[in-house]
Amino acid sequence: MKGNLEITKRPITITADAQSKIYGNADPALSYRITQGQLAYDDTFQGGLDRDSGDDVGTYRILQGTLNLNQNYDLTYQLSSLDITPRSLTITIGDAEKNLNSPDPRFTYEVTSGTLISSDSIMGSPDREQGEFPGSYTIHQGTIDTGPNYDVYFVTGTLTIQPEDVPISKDNVEVIINGNVEQIGKQTIIEEEEKPKTLLLTVDTEQALKRIDELQKKNETETEPAKNTFLVPVNNVGSTPVKVNLTGDVVKNLEEGQFDVQIQSGNITYNVPAQEFSIMQVANRMNVSAEQLRSIEIETTIQPVSEAATQAYRSFVEQNNNLLVFPPVSFHIEAKTEKQDGTTESVAITQFTNYVNRTIELPANTDPKLVTTGIIFHDDGTYSHVPTTVYQLNGKWYANINSLTNSEYALIFNSVTVPAVANHWSKSMVEDMAARLVLVDVEHFSPDAQITRSEFADYIVRALGLYRKEKVGSSSFLDVNTNHQDFLVIEIAHRYGIIHGYNNGTFQPDQLITRQEAMTMYSRAMEITQLVGTNALRFQQFEDFSEVSTWAAEYVKSVVAAGVFNGTSSQTLSPLTQLTHAESLTAIRNLLVKSNLINQ
């Protein structure tokens, strides 16, 4: 019998080898190996592998392409891949230099390691950290972009701002009184060992008194006299400290005329109502009679903080995830008089009865949206919020910092997300108060939790810019010891008359606050901000106003008249019920907005 021999195809599997290359380099040879079966006789593979097209960074399939065997084989092909990885580059940004108050130079850069593929280009330009005072500022990547095909390491550069030359001494310096230019100032340079050169501007006492009297008499004939201003402009002084001296009798006349004294040093204006110098109180402390006020010199100083201190402050601010937008500046007022024994007696004027503002013209390259709030630095380098507005005037942007004390002030950017209010009605108000450092404990914040009396005191003290890290002696209340977590803010609130406590000498800090108690504190805060309500009869719309305690009635009326505190409905106040954290922060924010201390 005859039979058939069937020769079947020989199975064989090949697998492509994984490959990689750096972007811009030539493709490696595409190779493969037999992973199952083997070739017979002297058979060989024909053709070669191929890959997906493309040269950008990514992963590409290695395909069978034309690779094949003769018809005697059943060929199975296993895919692999070619990875194109980013090309390493080092871009070094050049150092730069400019003089104070001049535009930034064009920032440069170069590729110092690696190569750029000829068909590619680098887009964008470097930028630098904010700041316009003399010192060193980092020039960083900015908008430089090479695309995803490069792994770039940036070497930052440094912009050095050089101080301007100190102005020379000169006479007949301008002082502007109610818009009238008077050449009654004298400018001199003070040089002391181990201290920066200081520009001192002294106003001629006799000439000043004469001009003030003349303008006062003119005002008496005006039907609508303008606000009285006494402006001392000191131009082009850069980082040079500026001192302006007025004698006590000039200050007294300015006080009687309800003048605002304005010291303008470069892009900073310090506006002090004359009564805030408290000249008679100062004279009494110095045992100087009213007839001898001329013997007192009131010295007002505006001084940028040293470069070393600024760098330390900047580091501390950045550690708190904030950005220093404008460097710290010191504001100081001191009264001096010579005693009979030839020594000098000094009294620092550090506290004010009303908010005193400092206006900063923002540098042209500063985004006004980056100004969240002004801050005051404490002795230990920490800082807290002071009420600040940002506004535009004649094409320029300004920040107005309001405070009841003198100290060192700066501007920061701070963006805060409060997880607990993600879907809460109070989200925008609460996060604004957190960004302004009024709400400090963001992680544990619960918007609908009822608030205690001490927690409320903490919010209102910080919101008004009253918080200071300071040593306080004994407690003002029998039930608040110095170890209480809110001891300091309770004492500050008591000092400013925001809280009085109960008749038995206690404050009951951990007791939940009632709405009428909160409104009482709001009303006292309104006295500090000088906010006066315009709707005196608004309280009548609340049907339960009769439930307000007698002692709280006038306070409640003033608060609802100003619209800083709303009821639980349009017709109910619920004065004896408790207040939540979210309601507290919202009402406090309303108070600041209506007092023109922060932006809407």
168, two tokens: 């020379």
Range with lowest mean pLDDT among 131-135, 316-320, 376-380, 564-568: 131-135
Q: Report the pLDDT value the prediction gives residue 307, as an integer from 0 to 100.
A: 83
* CATH among 1.10.3470, 3.30.429, 3.30.70, 3.10.430 for 10-85: 3.10.430
Domain boundary assignment for the chain: 10-85, 87-162, 170-413, 419-594
Confidence of residue 166 (pLDDT cuts 50, 70, 90): low
Contact partners, residue 306, CB within 8 Å, separation at least 6: none
Pair type for strands 268-273 and 260-265: antiparallel
User: Is the per-residue pLDDT at 14 higher than 90?
Assistant: yes
In percent, how much of the chain has pLDDT > 70?
A: 98
User: Is the per-residue pLDDT at 75 higher than 60?
Assistant: yes
What average pLDDT does the structure give for the chain?
A: 92
Long-range contacts of 205-208 (CB under 8 A, 24+ apart): 205/247, 205/249, 205/250, 205/294, 207/182, 208/175, 208/182, 208/184, 208/246, 208/250
CB atoms within 10 A of CB 84: 21
The alpha-helical segments, DSSP class H, found in 240-337 are 248-256, 279-285, 307-319
Helix (H) or strand (E) holding 494: helix 487-495
Please provide the distance, in angstroms rounded to a whole number, between the alpha carbons at the two ends of the chain: 107
For residues 78-88, average pLDDT: 96
Give strand pairing partners of 153: 90
Question: Which residue do the tokens 């083997």 mark?
Answer: 38
For residues 504-517, average pLDDT: 95
| CA atoms of 63 and 368, how far apart (whole Å) | 56
Instruction: Please state which architecture CATH assigns to domain 87-162.
Output: Roll (3.10)
Pair type for strands 242-247 and 198-203: parallel
Shared fold status for 10-85 and 87-162: yes
| CA atoms of 574 and 516, how far apart (whole Å) | 8
| CA atoms of 281 and 277, how far apart (whole Å) | 9
Helix (H) or strand (E) holding 400: strand 396-405
Q: Report the pLDDT value the prediction gives residue 197, as an integer from 0 to 100.
A: 79
Q: Is 193 exposed, middle or buried (0-12, 13-18, 19+ CB in 10 A)?
A: exposed
**Which is it for the CA torsion 428, 431, 435, 436, positive or negative?**
positive
Q: What is the dihedral of CA 491, 280, 205, 189, to 10 degrees?
A: -30
User: Is the per-residue pLDDT at 299 higher than 70?
Assistant: yes
Q: What is the pLDDT of residues 330-358, one digit of tens each?
A: 999 999 999 888 899 999 999 999 999 99
561 residue type, one letter: A
CB burial of 131-157 (b: ≥16 within 10 Å; e: otherwise) equals: bbbbbebebebeebebeebbebebeeb
125, two tokens: 């330009």
56 touches 36 (CB < 8 A): no
338 residue type, one letter: E
Smallest Cα–Cα separation from 167: which of 263, 237, 244? 237
User: Is the per-residue pLDDT at 363 higher than 90?
Assistant: no
User: Is the per-residue pLDDT at 239 higher than 80?
Assistant: no
